[in-house]
Structure 1
Amino acid sequence: MKKSVVFLSLLFTLATSTLFAQNDSCHLRISVLTCAPGEELYSTFGHCAIRVTDSSTRQDLTFNYGTFNFDDPDFYTNFLLGKQLFSLSVSDFSYFMPEYVEEHRTVTEQVLNLSCAEKQRIFDALKENYLPQNRYYKYDFFFDNCTTRIEGLLKNNVAGYHIPNPIVPPGTTFRKLIHNYLDKGGEPWSKLGIDILLGSKIDKLTTTEDAQFLPDYLRKGIDSAVTPAQPHGIVLRTTNIYEGQAPGMPQGKYVPLIIFSVFALVVLVLSPMTSRPARMVVRIADTLLLYLTGLAGIMLLFMWFGTDHLICRNNFNLLWALPTNFIAAFFIWKKPSWVRKYFLAAALIQIVTLVGWWAWPQQLNIALVPIVIVLAFRYIQLAKNK
């Protein structure tokens, strides 16, 4: 399989290089490669890179701003703290393609209709970025990633580059954009985790520039981009240099909501029962709810104040993930008077959270509604019972 993938990549290189030699008066050709989303979570949103073909040196290079080192012993720590460095890497185009061919992911190429001077400026900027002192940057999924770097490269080196028309519908937020990909990729639990972890910053409306943190929207932006020299568009041609398989229909979009609803229903049904097994199940559920929501709240506070992740700040999930629940869990069996007052206050917070669910400046995941309902009910019961 791998030998056939490499062979196909070499064919792509030969065919596109021949086409370039026949159609471009400059010795440089600049194109943007957009790779379709993959099955793994890290590839759910796709990828993009810059391709530079130089007929004078017969080089066919791919510049990739999305390179990182999994073998770095501090990789996961730095990623958690928002300090992970990504880098610009350069490889021959024939080494870029095999991964996407093997994973059956479509790769689209937009050949840019630029002046020779603009092409040379982009190539020089890429070489400058690749210098050891320049190639590393602190990665930010929404505001500084492999896609936004390419957008900045074009804006800074193509005279008068701008996108006259919107590329996202009115009312689109960062969260809605990533929801589209997570839904299509069949990632309901990842969607829930992201919705819990990321705060209200990603619920602001996106502009045309903002939306281009995603590869598909960078491609749309480039399709719409014009310059004074190219008022009808800067894309000379667009081709699928590899046609992958269309993804199947995703399943299980509402699995978290269903599971949480069943859990909440069981707890609500058992709560009025006085039998010993029912009371034991409810007590175990109460303990788990307090510990888990408390730990979740502590984690959210850490991501807000203890890391460089700006998108984890101002997180309204702290309305239900109360960090203080972790302390209250230790007193659930004895329930001193202050704990009963605490549960009354916590119940009030849950009720307010539910009433204002659609009004908060942060879109909370619908799967959490059953959890908030059962929390409110159990807080009231815990406050009443001695």
Structure 2
Amino acid sequence: MLSAMKRTILSLYLVLLCFSLSAYSIIPQEVEQPFDSTQELSKIDFLKPLAANQESWVDQTSISLMTVGPGDPLYAWFGHSALIVKQPSGTQIMYDWGIFDYDQENFYLNFARGRMYYYVVASEASWRIQEAIDEMRDVKIVELNFPKEAKFALIAFLQKNIKTEYSTYLYHFYYDNCATRIRDIIDFATHGEFSAWASIVPSQGSYRQLTMQNLIHSPALFWVLDTLQSRIIDTRLNRYDELFLPEKLHQAVVDFTYADGTRLVAEEHILQDTSEENIRFTVGNKLVNYDWAYWLFGLSLALLLGLIGKKFPALRRVAFGLLMVGLAALGSLLLFMMVFSDMDMTYFNENILFLNPLLLIPAFSFLIQKKQSSRFLAYCSAIMLVLLVLKWFVPAFALQDNLRTIAVLLPTYILGSAFQSRSKGEKR
């Protein structure tokens, strides 16, 4: 009976291992974008001469970039960007690419698959501005200095953009969001000068390093999201790439000048600055490395489990077992995202080699079996140790910045495999 159970577990082990390895090497699939604004922008003539009445109308309008600082909900931690058009009548219309609808058909299925469909909507700007102020968020508005022809063409594009067939787009956190849509609009309106200027300036870091600054105030949540994302977000960026963050976009717009020395920003207004009030987390201007903190946590967790094991061996088995169940659940989520979702930032994730559903095997060993027979934690520990050595000596293996994941897991895996080996020796 025991032998048959071992064969069953071994078979399951091999099947899941093959499945995990196939997920590690998954080939991303192209997903159709319902409305690609860059393609539509490329069709517009931003140099087309204006009639006298059009020129007079444009002189009485203005286009501004509004930047809102982080809010309390998770989706608001990175801030927000929108464009505001002030018409000759004095009415201010906000164009906002950050709208999603929970009542959308198949919303939760699309969310699970990584297909987040967002909308651009036009609304009266005054109440939206007041809403952000009431939420005690930073609010900054800069009026943009565009040539008359570009301003007129841009407003026509915005009006077309809110029609039903042009209003929906496939959201991507890094490549296509409320800030990147505006970034591209500004680039076309400046005849490519904006991207030419920003693209030659190196960024501070990668997508992972930049987003860390907005997430690190919640270390546990950051670790989970950090673990689920692969080396795809670890490439070095230029300044144009980093403008997926609203605050980065605001600063780039403020810094940019045309070739003739004219500034893009005509006027700047700070409607609310909460930096001195300590209402919520602040985002630092400099990148900070927090690897040491996760190594300290990983070692402390292993030490705590070790001390528990000395005094309460039964409690040790339960603690390790429940921990493995939780990690197996996280590994299952990672496997699902790699195989069944369109979240390309999870593809080619080497964490799947030691964080996957197979952790249910040591969980079963700790919680159910009296004899600790699983060696899976020892294998995972060996994989992580080999990866650490390769990352140190072979730069090609350091493409994925997952040291924080390894830092938390490795000490506990080593301790768990040691307990299992000791238990096996005691049972013989």
Asked if Structure 1 and Structure 2 have the same fold, meaning a TM-score greater than 0.5 normalized by the shorter chain, the answer is: yes
Aligned mate of 2:235, from 176, 188, 204:
204
Whether 1:178 and 2:211 are equivalent positions in the alignment is: yes
Match of 2:226 among 152, 170, 195: 195
Moved more, 318-327 or 145-154: 318-327
Partner in structure 2 of residue 81 of structure 1: 113
Change (3 A) 1:102 1:258: farther
- Aligned-partner SS, 2:142: strand
Q: Which structure has more helix as a fraction of its residues?
A: 2
| TM-superposed deviation, 1:340 | 4.2
Q: Which residue does 2:302 correspond to in 1?
A: 264
Matched residue, 1:240: 270
Counterpart code for 2:235: K
Instruction: Look up the match of 1:136.
Output: 168
Q: Determine whether 1:218 maps to 2:249.
A: yes
5+ long unaligned stretches in structure 2: 1-56, 283-289
- How many angstroms apart in 1 are the aligned matches of 2:423 and 2:187? 64
- Partner SS, residue 123 of structure 1: helix
| Structure 2: distance between partners of 1:70 and 1:256 | 35
Which one-letter code corresponds to 1:329 in the other structure? A
TM-superposed CA distance for 1:256, in Å, is: 7.3
Equivalent of 1:290 in 311, 321, 324: 324
Unaligned 5+ segments in structure 1 are: 1-23
Aligned residue number for residue 108 of structure 1:
140
Could you say which residue in structure 2 is the equivalent of 1:305? Answer: 339
SS at match of 1:176: helix
Cα distance in 2, alignment partners of residues 89 and 322 from structure 1: 41
Output one character per residue of 1:63-103: Cα deviation in whole Å (capped at 9) or x when no partner: 00101113447433322211121100111111211221111
In 2 relative to 1, CA 131–192 (structure 1 residues): closer, same or farther, beyond 3 Å?
same
| Deviation of the 1:209 alpha carbon | 1.6
Q: Aligned partner of 2:358: which letter?
A: T
Q: Please tell me the residue identity of whatever aligns with 1:48.
A: S
Compared CA separation, residues 193 and 343, structure 1 to 2 (3 A): closer
Q: Contact 1:65–1:145 at 8 Å: present in 2 too?
A: yes
Change (3 A) 1:150 1:357: same
CA distance in 2, matches of 1:354, 1:290: 22
Cα 1:25–1:125 change in 2 (3 A) is closer
> Alignment partner for residue 63 of structure 2, among 27, 30, 36?
30
Give the letter for the 1:373 counterpart: P
3-state secondary structure, aligned to 1:239: strand
Does residue 372 (structure 1) correspond to residue 372 (structure 2)? The answer is no
Contact 1:354 1:369 (8 Å CA) reproduced: no
Quote the offset at 1:224 in angstroms: 3.0
Residue-by-residue CA offset, 1:4-23 (whole Å, 9 max, x unaligned): xxxxxxxxxxxxxxxxxxxx
Q: Could you say which structure has the greater relative contact order, defined with CA pairs below 8 angstroms and 6 or more residues apart?
A: 2
TM-score by length of 1: 0.81
Q: TM-score, normalised by structure 2?
A: 0.74
Task: Write the distance in 2 (CA, Å) between the matches of 1:355 and 1:292.
Answer: 27
User: Is 1:360–2:398 an aligned residue pair?
Assistant: yes
Whole-angstrom distance in 1 between the partners of 2:376 and 2:301: 24
Residue 36 to residue 340, structure 1, CA distance change in 2 (3 Å): closer
The reply on whether 1:67 has 2:99 as its aligned counterpart is: yes
Q: 1:351 aligns with which of 385, 394, 400?
A: 385
Report sequence identity in percent: 24
Query: Following the alignment from structure 1 to structure 2, what is the Cα–Cα distance between the partners of residues 124 and 280?
Result: 70
